[in-house]
Structure 1
Amino acid sequence: MKNKTKISVVFPVFNEEDVIETTIKNYFNELKGKIEFEMIVAEDGSTDNTKKIIKKLEKKFPIKAYMSNKRKGYQKAVIDALKHPKNEWIFLVDSDYQFNPKDFWKLLPHINKYDIILGIKAKRKDPLYRIILSKGFNFLLRLFFKVPYVDMDTGFRLINKKVLDETMDQIHCLKYFTSELVIRSHFKNFKIKEIPVTHYKRKIGSTNIFSIKSIPRVVLEEMKGLFKLHKELNHQL
């Protein structure tokens, strides 16, 4: 039986020429006929063949593609991407195909009780330096804001549109959109659930979020962002 929930699947994309077709095809095939959905691809000024591939995919699949002439960065690209969905629930997924499309069905049953459902990586398959940075960052988030969540920077999340309507305009402190969304939503008393999901090692290419060389800059930016967000929310802590 087809699920009556309507969702908007949103993929932020930057330089994913090797995997974007696989990502779109497999998510589309997993959801087709089982749930009503729209599929949105928000491209962020790619410098490889990603744009050409997306244009080709528009002829094969009912996707809505939004192209950018310049690189905006992950957070700004995600925020802009989330201006387009029309449905009540937004399934926001990183486009590097490190998650299993079938795990969407692990998140969906929780929409009646929660406003944000995060697919947390059961066994993370990223390079060691990324795992260490992520664990350290999530530890600091828990320490600074006294929240219980384990994986606040996950790339696999199901979000009610009312959450975005109340928080989007306020997100500006942290480099990673989901982390700040979770923190601000927590203090607005939205209900948040974490569900373990499968995480794959990236098979082709490399991460476009940051490299080893950029670690010092990323750490400094995030520490500044943490203190800024803490200052803004201090009266609620």
Structure 2
Amino acid sequence: MSAFFPCYNDAATLEKVVEKALSVLSRISDDFEVIVVDDGSRDGSRAIANELAARHPEVRVVHHEQNRGYGGALKTGIKSSSKDWVFYTDSDGQYDVEDLLKLQPLTGQGDVINGYKAGRNDPWYRVILGSMYNFFIHRMFAIPIRDVDCDFRLMRGNLARSLALRSNGGAICVEMIKGLQAAGATFIEVPVEHHERESGKSQFFKPRNLVVMMGELLSLWWKVVVRRETYVA
């Protein structure tokens, strides 16, 4: 199994998340890798990631010299993976990697095992905005899962690596799920815990990122819903 972690200024939580991942993965398989995708961090995450790679032979780091956005980090993580199954979640600690033990036993039943938040521990306005986002995304794209922005996802590796993903912003998850759907993937959903952010700030609601995401979503809607393009390489 490949597990990758997009990281942008997550110095306060990165080491704990990666160490937990190593512990969990060692209980699942003796053939695994952990990839940290440092997306141009400026807070010491780069040094922490390098130290983790020096300490653990299963860990390797891919550095972006400039920030490419969340979508850019996910694309790098998928491209860098090499195992039969690919798992990813964020480095900020809002999801517990221990919950991967709920997903892994279901790999014989589906191609994508997707978490959904069993109670969202975010400020009230983010909970409302998240619900509105999911509502509109489901109606725009006929998404086959209930929680498209739950970034706790286990995918069959050959399917994930076949996707020709283009988004660099927050629309990447919609594009990924639609691409997997078009490739004929079967989906299973599992509730996972969602915790309060320990440090740092979400990049999702920054005005610039929202503008980029909206532009990408409209472009994606036109391509996959109206023109029925596919995202399989």
TM category (shorter chain) comes to 0.7 to 0.9
Task: Report the counterpart of residue 68 of structure 1 in structure 2.
Answer: 64
Aligned length: 227
2:92 corresponds to: 96
2:119 to 119, 123, 130: 123
Residue from 163, 182, 191 that aligns with 1:187 = 182
> 8 Å contact 2:87–2:152 — kept in the other structure?
yes
User: Which one of the candidate residues 27, 42, 54 is aligned to 1:47?
Assistant: 42
- Cα displacement string for residues 89-126 of structure 1 (whole angstroms, at most 9, x for unaligned residues): 00111111111122101111211121111111110112
TM-score (normalised: structure 1): 0.86
Q: For 2:3 and 2:168, locate their aligned partners in 1 and report how far apart those are by CA, in whole Å.
A: 25
Q: Select between 70-79 and 128-137 the one with higher mean Cα deviation.
A: 128-137
Residue equivalent to 1:210: 205
Q: How far did 1:22 drift? A: 1.1
Q: Which residue of 2 aligns with 1:87?
A: 83
Range that drifts further, 157-166 or 140-149: 140-149
Measured at CA, do residues 119 and 234 of structure 1 come closer, stay the same or move farther in structure 2, by a change above 3 Å?
same
Whether the 8 Å CA contact 2:7–2:37 is kept in 1: the answer is yes
Equivalence for 1:224 = 218
* Helix, strand or coil at the partner of 1:164: helix
Q: CA RMSD in A?
A: 2.3
Partner of 1:77: 73
Distance 2:219 2:175 in 1: 10
Distance 1:140 1:77, change over 3 A: same
Give the fraction of aligned pairs with identical amino acids, expressed as a percent. Answer: 28
Partner Cα distance (1:202, 1:69) in 2:
26
Aligned counterparts of 1:99 and 1:80: Cα–Cα separation in 2 = 21
Distance, in Å, in 2 between the alignment partners of 1:222 and 1:21 is 32
Instruction: Quote how far apart the aligned CAs of 1:12 are.
Output: 0.9
Deviations 1:164-213 (A, max 9, x none): 2332x1444973322211122223321011110111011222213333x5
Q: In the alignment, is the contact (CA less than 8 A) between 1:118 and 1:192 conserved in 2?
A: yes
Task: Supply the distance in 2 between the matched residues of 1:223 and 1:166 (Cα, whole angstroms).
Answer: 21
Superposed, 1:137-156 pairs within 5 Å as 137-156=133-152
Gaps of 5+ in 2: none
Please report how far the alpha carbon of residue 135 of structure 1 lies from its aligned counterpart in structure 2 after TM superposition: 1.9
Counterpart residue identity of residue 50, structure 1: S
Relative to structure 1, the CA distance from residue 18 to residue 182 in structure 2 (aligned partners, 3 Å threshold; closer, same or farther) is same
Q: 1:132 Cα shift?
A: 2.4
SS of aligned partner of 1:199 = coil
For residues 50 and 180 of structure 2, what CA distance do their matches in structure 1 show?
A: 35
Unmatched runs of 5 consecutive residues or more in structure 1: 1-6
Give 1:3's aligned residue. none
Aligned residue type for 1:71:
N
**Contact 1:92-1:156 at 8 Å conserved across structures:** yes
What is the CA deviation profile of residues 131-167 of structure 1, one whole-angstrom value per residue up to 9, with x for unaligned ones? 2232222212221233442101111100101222332
The 8 Å contact of residues 4 and 34 in structure 2, kept in 1 or not, is answered as yes
**In structure 2, what is the Cα distance between the partners aligned to 1:124 and 1:205?**
17
Distance verdict in 2 for CA 1:230–1:128, change over 3 Å: farther
**SS, match of residue 95 in structure 2:** coil
